[in-house]
Amino acid sequence: MINWKNMTALDSYKKLKTTYPTSLKAALSGEAGAKRVHDYQLPMAGGLSYNYAAKRVDDQILADLCALAKEAQLSEKYQALLNGEIVNTGEKRRVLHQLTRGQQGASVEVDGVDKRAFYLEQLAKIEKFAGDVHSGKIVNEKGEPFTTVVQIGIGGSDLGPRALYLALENWAKAEGCFKMEARFISNVDPDDAVSVLNSIDVARSLFIVVSKSGTTLETLTNEAFVKNALLQKGLKPSCHMLAVTSETSPLAHSSEYLAAFFMDDFIGGRYSSSSAVGGAVLSLAFGPDVFKRFLSGAAEEDKLAACPDPLQNPDMLDALIGVYERNVMGLPTTAILPYSQALSRFPAHLQQLDMESNGKSVNRFGESIDYPTGPIIFGEPGTNGQHSFYQLLHQGTDVVPLQFIGFGENQTGVDVEIQSSTSQKKLCANVVAQIMAFALGKQNDNPNKAFAGERPSSIIYGKRLTPEALGALLAHFENKVMFQGFVWNINSFDQEGVQLGKVLAKKVLAHDTDGALKAYSELFDI
Amino acid sequence: MINWKNMTALDSYKKLKTTYPTSLKAALSGEAGAKRVHDYQLPMAGGLSYNYAAKRVDDQILADLCALAKEAQLSEKYQALLNGEIVNTGEKRRVLHQLTRGQQGASVEVDGVDKRAFYLEQLAKIEKFAGDVHSGKIVNEKGEPFTTVVQIGIGGSDLGPRALYLALENWAKAEGCFKMEARFISNVDPDDAVSVLNSIDVARSLFIVVSKSGTTLETLTNEAFVKNALLQKGLKPSCHMLAVTSETSPLAHSSEYLAAFFMDDFIGGRYSSSSAVGGAVLSLAFGPDVFKRFLSGAAEEDKLAACPDPLQNPDMLDALIGVYERNVMGLPTTAILPYSQALSRFPAHLQQLDMESNGKSVNRFGESIDYPTGPIIFGEPGTNGQHSFYQLLHQGTDVVPLQFIGFGENQTGVDVEIQSSTSQKKLCANVVAQIMAFALGKQNDNPNKAFAGERPSSIIYGKRLTPEALGALLAHFENKVMFQGFVWNINSFDQEGVQLGKVLAKKVLAHDTDGALKAYSELFDI
């Protein structure tokens, strides 16, 4: 029997509140420190590991976090989600993004349709379509092959797929499986679409319109932009446009699209990268096999997430340590710092994933809660960030928990040796050095050159950023956010906070305004 | 006589601490609300305006902030900086970035060199060089014109110039003054350089190596990467490479460069966009006249910043309201939300500018301080952000002050009308709607659909993002950060927090490690 209780009602949380964060200077010193680095880590899928030696926890705090996981029934709740229960209580929906990449729970049937079979069917349709494009069976009006694919979408239809494309672009080129250049149009700012359209060969481009409802303002506007551009060049939009949408949307069965691939209401936008939303563009760009490898990494990570023991479950443990930092240590932000240029937009994806899921002030029953929930997420790749905002991270008045990500090898395999080390070695040396600098700090008689230390971080690391590793990475954070939502007793799968702005924007466009709203509108001559 | 005192020692600050933030629901309602929108704004340079009607201040709090500005001697301190006094006490240096764009204070002579004349001389050298490239006088080995310019730099040598290039790229194309494509290599991750080099015609590219000291690890490494690539193609690096550096650096007088343009120790990296660091790449990309228009916008804003009355000084007022939010309201973060795709990387530049400048825990005399200083800065363009992290901004447990930026017209002049409005109108309607949604919120019987409101924002707006507007925008934030540093009594112009990581990274590369550092290094097989 599952109980949904506020975090502050849990005895294990009350116990946790009495603990004092572990001193990293003590914990990471000497041989014991070296041992801790080896011990405080867990295998993830895709050849990755999660190392939490530089988090301010010790065996006792970990035991308390395990008690919290048990009392909050994290494992049972995940199982309920996998079995298709209505976990998204706000919108009264199942939450099935894990099912797009593997069958773990009971089979879920909705309106007579087996959902796993449905997702597999869409995947097969995409595979067939991408194969036909790559083989030259599907071509443009002149019989020329398509060279570019443009995703038109916003939010989850943009950030995840874009981050994943960038994450594998150089890898695919190095591995010889790069098929098509991908570009992305998202913003309603017309300069976004104009800029992308000016930079591609429109005649040899496929455009994927991605909107679950088929009514997203920005996406429909940008679709119109693209259709205009095609018509102006004497091209037929229906030979260039694809749709990724729900079966009930206006885009679903339209002759205006070359093909349509389906998702459904049980895939939230920010969780849609492993559905057709990511599948179509990534399969076209890199081939369906690469996308399947990505899915297999995610599925393997989802399996690890099912382990009830947090000390064997990297997703759950990361979530619990995050709760400790947020609610016991009182830290309101978290930085995502990938030491990998390929992950340059991964922090922007996690920013949506985390902040849109857990930036909530009411519990699952719609009651106000009185403890902080989802943190503010930001980040940039290292070493770039070191020459930017790390000053504040090291010496600012606020402590920011850090999530490093790093790989032993680069993706392209091309490197140069200078001052007896390669660039890749320098990159890795820097991430290691930063972890220690943040944890241990350094005394100095001049306080301006002193570092307080005790600034916690963890690192996810692996040999190389492959499709499997990327799938594991994505699923890890999806599952982490889910577990944190369970602990906080909030609904991580709706987003009512985006509605009011939409309503007011319509009023402004309809000139249905007065007072301050009218005055603001006049600033822009609306 | 200037007194440098901690903020908490100022009577005006103690007074301010007793105030209660103004209710936006009250202040922005009815006709008085409309009047407030018109009254609570100030002209900026470049045709911009700063509107603070949705900040939680009223006439009394503004008067208290004016008293703080006076007691903290903000105007006198800015004047001292302009006159070349050693305001950067940590490094014992003058702070002269404003001088790169105009003469306002006394003339500053260092070692017999008039610094304004020096910056103008570099500008003239750049203008001549860019003109020769554009006219085809300077060409590659085969006599072909150069088509691409690649900036090799990191931190301030990358973020500012990159953000500014992206901000004007579409504008320049629309205006017919676009000269050369620009690309940027920054990360020591070798895949960054490989990826850029694979995407350009190396034979027709100029490369600008940007490093003040001439010793920046990432930049020298990437320079070697580029030289290798040139040599592999049988090209002569000295026909393709430029340097932007200080006159005393190893890069300054080397035959390995086609030309060298100089900056000096009085231009901090994050303040270097208006020096040769931004000047060379932007003049090559858009022509020297565009860069000069950018400088004139910045210079005009710098002049506004000299007004001692905060209510006539948008840079100082923005700084003071930020202090109010940080130290009276206790808010630790600020989001930068430009409703302009052209400003997609402007938040990343401001993140460095602000966090590296004011992420400090000691005052100008090296003494610890006991109040929060620089906030955490993050942001993405709207409307994209609305479909991402705005959920937390509207309904999360933490309040985040917001800095909107918007323009009435887009840059390309191309647009499409759908549902009786253009994309640009939709963009503007959205930013206006968001300001009001954050300020007023909305009651609802279902708490999950309710918005608490009282979430403060300001907006900088103008007709169009031109070079002058961009210069004003850049200078506005530079001056804001400077004034906040003055209030907090910290040195905004050094960055000692970046040193420890560098030292430890060298130890790792030299295998001079033990304990936990060695154990971490082993994870990456270093």
Q: Summarize the confidence of residues B166-195 as an average pLDDT.
A: 97
Helix (H, G, I), strand (E, B) or coil at A189: coil
Q: Summarize the confidence of residues B43-63 as an average pLDDT.
A: 98
A469 pLDDT higher than 90: yes
Give the closest-approach CA distance of B176 to chain A in angstroms: 14
* Structure token digits, residue B140: 């590659």
pTM of whole model > 0.95? yes
Write out pLDDT tens, residues A16-26.
Answer: 999 999 999 99
Contact: A351, B416; criterion CB under 8 Å: no
Q: What b-and-e string marks burial along B338-352, b requiring 16 or more CB atoms within 10 Å of the CB?
A: bbbbbbbbbbbbbbb
Q: Summarize the confidence of residues A43-71 as an average pLDDT.
A: 98
Residue pair B284/B135 in contact (Cβ under 8 Å)? The answer is: no
Considering chain B, what is the average pLDDT of its residues?
97
Cα–Cα distance between A310 and A320 in angstroms, integer?
A: 8
Q: Summarize the confidence of residues A494-509 as an average pLDDT.
A: 95
Contact: A356, B392; criterion CB under 8 Å: yes
Write out pLDDT tens, residues B329-377.
Answer: 999 999 999 999 999 999 999 999 999 999 999 999 999 999 999 999 9
Residue pair A214/A252 in contact (Cβ under 8 Å)? The answer is: yes
Cis peptide before A245 (omega within 30 of 0): no
Q: Which region holds residue A514: left if phi is over 0, alpha if psi is between -120 and 50, else beta?
A: beta
**Residues with Cβ < 8 Å from A32, sequence gap 6 or more?**
none
CA dist B367 → B159, B253, B323, B360, B490 (Å) = 31, 41, 20, 11, 10
Alpha helices in B441-524 (DSSP H): 467-488, 499-509, 515-523
Confidence of residue B425 (pLDDT cuts 50, 70, 90): very high
Residue pair B505/A459 in contact (Cβ under 8 Å)? The answer is: no
Confidence of residue A477 (pLDDT cuts 50, 70, 90): very high
A253 counts as catalytic: no
Q: Which region holds residue A181: left if phi is over 0, alpha if psi is between -120 and 50, else beta?
A: beta
Q: Summarize the confidence of residues B184-200 as an average pLDDT.
A: 96
Helix (H, G, I), strand (E, B) or coil at A18: coil
Complete domains list, chain B, with CATH: 25-85+305-494 (3.40.50.10490), 97-294 (3.40.50.10490), 495-526 (no CATH)
Chain A interface test: which of B188, B418, B442 (most A C-beta within 10 Å): B188
DSSP string, A409-420: S-SS----EETT
B419 pLDDT higher than 90: no
Nearest to A189 among B369, B410, B437 (CB): B410
Looking only at the bridges linking them, the beta strands covering A376-378 and A333-339 are parallel
Name the percent of chain B lying above pLDDT 90. 98
Q: What is the pLDDT of residue A90?
A: 86
Cis peptide before A383 (omega within 30 of 0): yes
> How many other CB atoms are there within 10 angstroms of residue A362's CB atom?
21
Fill in the DSSP letter of residue A188. S
Give the closest-approach CA distance of A360 to chain B in angstroms: 4
Write out pLDDT tens, residues A340-353.
Answer: 999 999 999 999 99
Alpha helices in B359-491 (DSSP H): 390-395, 423-440, 467-488
Residue type, A17: K
Give the closest-approach CA distance of A524 to chain B in angstroms: 5
Cα–Cα distance between A378 and B332 in angstroms, integer?
A: 14
Report which of A337, A346, A355 is spatially closest to residue A159, judged by C-alpha positions: A346
Active-site annotation holder among A92, A233, A387, A511: A387
A331 pLDDT higher than 90: yes
Cα–Cα distance between A176 and A178 in angstroms, integer?
A: 6
Contact: A396, B361; criterion CB under 8 Å: yes
Write out pLDDT tens, residues B277-309.
Answer: 999 999 999 999 999 999 999 999 999 999 999
CA dist A354 → A321, A375, A477, B416, B494 (Å) = 15, 8, 8, 34, 33
Contact: B28, A225; criterion CB under 8 Å: no
Q: What is the pLDDT of residue B424?
A: 97
Q: What is the pLDDT of residue B1?
A: 87
Backbone angles phi, psi at A393, to 5 degrees: -60, -35
Cβ-based contacts of A351 with chain B (< 8 Å) = 378, 380, 388-389
Tokens 């420190």 correspond to A33
Q: Summarize the confidence of residues A520-524 as an average pLDDT.
A: 96
Cβ-based contacts of A369 with chain B (< 8 Å) = 397
Question: Residue B442's closest chain A neighbor by CA?
Answer: A500
Active-site annotation holder among A71, A223, A301, A356: A356
A456 pLDDT higher than 90: yes
Cα–Cα distance between A182 and A165 in angstroms, integer?
A: 8
Measure the CA angle with vertex B15, ends B13 and B18; round to 5°: 110
B387 counts as catalytic: yes
* Structure token digits, residue A237: 């939009």
Question: Residue B270's closest chain A neighbor by CA?
Answer: A388
Cα–Cα distance between B30 and B59 in angstroms, integer?
A: 18
Strands (E) in B84-240, as ranges, are: 109-110, 113-114, 148-152, 181-185, 205-210
Contact: A414, B376; criterion CB under 8 Å: no
A413 pLDDT higher than 90: yes
Backbone angles phi, psi at A263, to 5 degrees: -120, -170
Residue pair B507/A411 in contact (Cβ under 8 Å)? The answer is: no
* Structure token digits, residue B260: 């060298």
Question: Residue A386's closest chain B neighbor by CA?
Answer: B498
Q: Counting Cβ atoms within 10 Å, is residue A510 exposed (0-12), middle (13-18) or buried (19+)? A: exposed
**Residues with Cβ < 8 Å from B338, sequence gap 6 or more?**
B344, B346, B347, B379, B381, B382, B404, B405, B406
Q: What is the pLDDT of residue A243?
A: 98
Report which of B436, B452, B426 is spatially closest to residue A516, judged by C-alpha positions: B436
For this complex, say whether ipTM is above 0.90.
yes
Question: Residue A25's closest chain B neighbor by CA?
Answer: B516
Cα–Cα distance between A465 and A169 in angstroms, integer?
A: 11
Long-range contacts of A415-423 (CB under 8 A, 24+ apart): A415/B190, A416/B190, A416/B221, A416/B224, A416/B225, A416/B228, A418/B220, A418/B221, A418/B224, A419/B509, A420/B509, A421/B509, A422/B190, A423/B188, A423/B189, A423/B190, A423/B193, A423/B221, A423/B222, A423/B225
Fill in the DSSP letter of residue B145. P
A1 pLDDT higher than 90: no
Contact: A395, B361; criterion CB under 8 Å: yes
Q: Summarize the confidence of residues B154-178 as an average pLDDT.
A: 97
A419 pLDDT higher than 90: no
Q: What is the pLDDT of residue A412?
A: 95
Write out pLDDT tens, residues A439-453.
Answer: 999 999 999 999 999
B256 counts as catalytic: no
